[in-house]
Structure 1
């Protein structure tokens, strides 16, 4: 039987044995490479991993020269049509629509996407994640083009999309108590509306109560206060209390940039992690992208309180920033998971960039190696979510599986399969993905999305958003001044 014989978007009936040249099996508390082995899945679970299974199966499929891996866990998964790639080479941020100018605030911020466009971008980005071997995701999107925060209605549609496409998600609309406003060139001031932030938290909690557990548990809840400099102490205390009571994770971006550090220092007289520690808001439910500006004391607080860093190397490497360093955090005992947080949402590429940037930061070849990033993208993410049934392939784990094509003609010759995948490929060699035992992606196709229709639609939607950038840019310059072309136009 062939993989093509399985129904895309469905869970095979009965036991399914998948034979492969390489399987990343879990044994003795860690990943182990199994050569010429077999994995058997039954409904939503892994039944067996090892040499050829001798029990009865409904079907046996030889996948050939592939690497069968646990699906990746993306703790900061792009669910947006990303503009960061535009902004990186077109700075500074205050002059390029990344911070609201006072004139835009005065006229009244507005939603730059329609409700239908917000629904579409989640579905489109969820499909992209599946095509890159991501099976579990905590979505992230920009609030720069939003009227304020995200809405429960759009996330109800996101839950529908995740269930229909077959992606495991932790969902919660982003909320905030304030934002940064550009009042003069290079002058950024925080503005707060705490009542609005608390109302956003209440809406997020209501959403989680109504949606968590849908689609046989594929949809779970998380709380997503937007960025630490846009939050008040009252909002964060209530957020952490609710997360404890509901036993759900919290993701909060902090220790990630100079603007944040300067703002929090001016407001609270400390770094963000130190500020949160002062009122008991650091705990093992907290996932904190990105730690690129974390001090030694910040990292020690993360260790003491069990905070997980969501490491997203690609988006920072584009602007020359990096985590300093991956090996240092590991030595200190900081918990590390992985995220993408940009386009493309390619976890393999992020692992490759993570290895390179760590070595540029001074880590030795043995201190930060491909397998360490791979562990973070699987076991690290599972630990952050408190899910010992994810991020590993072993008996009774969830059947969340990524299959990578090791026969790709552009990925040869090969050495160790993990090193070959991380340092010699991208997520484009993802051949198939199973989530909860369901075949969610095969050969770039996702049940419930027509790429021929979706790709041009996404581009048109993105271009309409970009056209509105002058509205929210200081001085309201024309678009060609905000994003000048890399080369002059041909005449």
Structure 2
């Protein structure tokens, strides 16, 4: 039996014409199976099912290239600084071990991937922290992650994180690089093995990627071997770089004053396959930003902006206008809690205007494109991030009857200004409804159950902070409340 032909009608449909999004007032989308047949007005063919969505926006699902894939502990450092004193850099004397059980890791994937769908993110490349691990991520763990993606009905690019080394801090706040050649080699081999196993699975919504942790975690041999693997597999590869002062300083020290992008280019790692969060420290210690921007533009690599987490750390893309002018592809990642693309679009527009001093530097449309078309281009998937005939039927429905949206003068601007992931009512991936009325259709958990259990897992990981934090202070000194807590006096 062939799939039904289904028509969705909405007050606004975000279509696609002449290389950009467009808006159809009182528009419609017709799809069959996982493919869109028609977008626009007055479809003339027969349909098996006709659905009127009322005062809603029917739009392409968001694409998140640095998606929060576990419980987010960066929020603990929001007001607890400096980070090296509060567990963001592990203690040099910590005997690394896995602080999550496999059961907890598995649950965290159900929770995080479900949250991404609930926020209208239909395609994602998840990232988890390796601060709580004996080393990095494992093949079996990500085979289970693939099971979760299949179960929920999402679309994902997956790959276990791997590294050659990491930085640890002594009690004076001096950082030391600790590497392990055997584990570096094994991590890369495991990443390739996972990529091959995932491709052999033959599930269209599942794709493999390479997820090296971050450039400063590498060494010469690792970067050389990674470059060869990226060339061989020619698959999306996410590598955090130009992210922190520690990275810029250490890369310059270890590579004769070079910038992070110079080092990537040296090892064949600056090309169209590369997804590069966060791009905040272009130019290295010398600050020659123009050369780095030219390198990035010539390479075809994608810069993945993560406005919310960057803003929380007080640093964003000061050179946004030059990056745009150079034609560099820009995409978005959430990277922190909440996994809300609306918040990241709004924060991105606001931060861009602040850091550039130019109110016209970025618009709602610019960041909406980054959340859709930019991500699709980065993945080499022109059938994603837009609603057009032949594209994947990955769609979200956002009600415009939410009072918090205020008055609607333009649906996209209103959503970027005032929207929230909680406004997403329905999510469709590859023609299948995976979120209906704010519940996950295919999950073994209700949203309430996910929330309740996530708090238990989060409490557990907070309890492990003293062992891996410099000086091993109690939790009360690492994660402090905003105000003093007053408890009831016992009689």
For normalisation by structure 1, the TM-score amounts to 0.95
The 3-state SS of whatever aligns with 1:484 is coil
Pairwise CA distance, 1:101: 1.2
Residue 248 of structure 1: aligned partner: 235
1:462 equivalent among 451, 458, 461: 458
Residue 102 (1) aligns with residue 98 (2)? no
Structure 2 Cα separation of the partners of residues 247 and 279 of structure 1: 15
Structure 1 Cα separation of the partners of residues 108 and 320 of structure 2: 32
Q: Which moved more, 1:470-479 or 1:357-366?
A: 357-366
Structure 2 Cα separation of the partners of residues 120 and 214 of structure 1: 22
Structure 2 unaligned spans of 5+: 284-288
For normalisation by structure 2, the TM-score amounts to 0.95
Structure 2 Cα separation of the partners of residues 343 and 387 of structure 1: 27
Structure 2 Cα separation of the partners of residues 123 and 262 of structure 1: 37
Q: Which moved more, 1:363-372 or 1:184-193?
A: 363-372
2:177 equivalent among 190, 215, 222: 190
Residue 286 of structure 2: aligned partner: none
Residue 441 of structure 1: aligned partner: 435
Is the 1:213–1:220 contact (alpha carbons within 8 Å) kept by the matching residues of 2? no
Residue 186 of structure 2: aligned partner: 199
**Alignment CA distance shift 1:213-1:345 (3 Å):** farther
The 3-state SS of whatever aligns with 2:264 is helix
Structure 2 Cα separation of the partners of residues 368 and 312 of structure 1: 15
Q: Which moved more, 1:41-50 or 1:195-204?
A: 195-204
Is the 1:72–1:378 contact (alpha carbons within 8 Å) kept by the matching residues of 2? yes
Pairwise CA distance, 1:404: 1.1
Is the 1:100–1:474 contact (alpha carbons within 8 Å) kept by the matching residues of 2? yes
Residue 298 of structure 1: aligned partner: 292
Residue 5 of structure 1: aligned partner: none
Residue 322 of structure 1: aligned partner: 316
1:347 equivalent among 318, 338, 341: 341
Is the 1:72–1:347 contact (alpha carbons within 8 Å) kept by the matching residues of 2? yes
2:70 equivalent among 80, 99, 112: 80
Residue 16 of structure 1: aligned partner: 6
The 3-state SS of whatever aligns with 1:217 is coil
When the two chains are superposed, the root-mean-square deviation of aligned CA atoms in Å is: 1.5
**Alignment CA distance shift 1:97-1:219 (3 Å):** same
Residue 53 of structure 2: aligned partner: 63
The 3-state SS of whatever aligns with 1:294 is coil
**Alignment CA distance shift 1:147-1:329 (3 Å):** same
Is the 2:106–2:145 contact (alpha carbons within 8 Å) kept by the matching residues of 1? yes
Residue 166 of structure 1: aligned partner: 153
- After superposition, give the CA deviation of every residue in 1:419-466 in whole Å (9 maximum; x if it has no partner): 000011111111111111110111211121322222111100011000
- After superposition, give the CA deviation of every residue in 1:239-298 in whole Å (9 maximum; x if it has no partner): 232233223110000001101111111111222111122232211100000001112122
Pairwise CA distance, 1:213: 6.1
Structure 1 Cα separation of the partners of residues 202 and 271 of structure 2: 29
Is the 1:213–1:219 contact (alpha carbons within 8 Å) kept by the matching residues of 2? no
Is the 1:163–1:215 contact (alpha carbons within 8 Å) kept by the matching residues of 2? no
Residue 216 (1) aligns with residue 206 (2)? no
The 3-state SS of whatever aligns with 2:170 is strand
Structure 2 Cα separation of the partners of residues 68 and 137 of structure 1: 20
Pairwise CA distance, 1:215: 6.5
Pairwise CA distance, 1:365: 3.8
Is the 2:399–2:425 contact (alpha carbons within 8 Å) kept by the matching residues of 1? yes
Residue 109 of structure 2: aligned partner: 122
Residue 272 of structure 1: aligned partner: 260
**Alignment CA distance shift 1:400-1:206 (3 Å):** same
Residues 354-393 of structure 1 aligned to structure 2 (within 5 Å): 354-362=348-356, 364-393=358-387
Residue 286 of structure 1: aligned partner: 274
Is the 1:223–1:239 contact (alpha carbons within 8 Å) kept by the matching residues of 2? no
Structure 1 Cα separation of the partners of residues 406 and 50 of structure 2: 28
1:91 equivalent among 70, 78, 81: 81
The 3-state SS of whatever aligns with 2:9 is strand
Residue 49 (1) aligns with residue 39 (2)? yes
Residue 8 of structure 1: aligned partner: none
Is the 1:327–1:363 contact (alpha carbons within 8 Å) kept by the matching residues of 2? no
Residue 480 of structure 2: aligned partner: 484
Is the 2:223–2:267 contact (alpha carbons within 8 Å) kept by the matching residues of 1? no
Is the 1:190–1:263 contact (alpha carbons within 8 Å) kept by the matching residues of 2? no
Structure 1 Cα separation of the partners of residues 168 and 356 of structure 2: 37
Is the 2:171–2:471 contact (alpha carbons within 8 Å) kept by the matching residues of 1? no
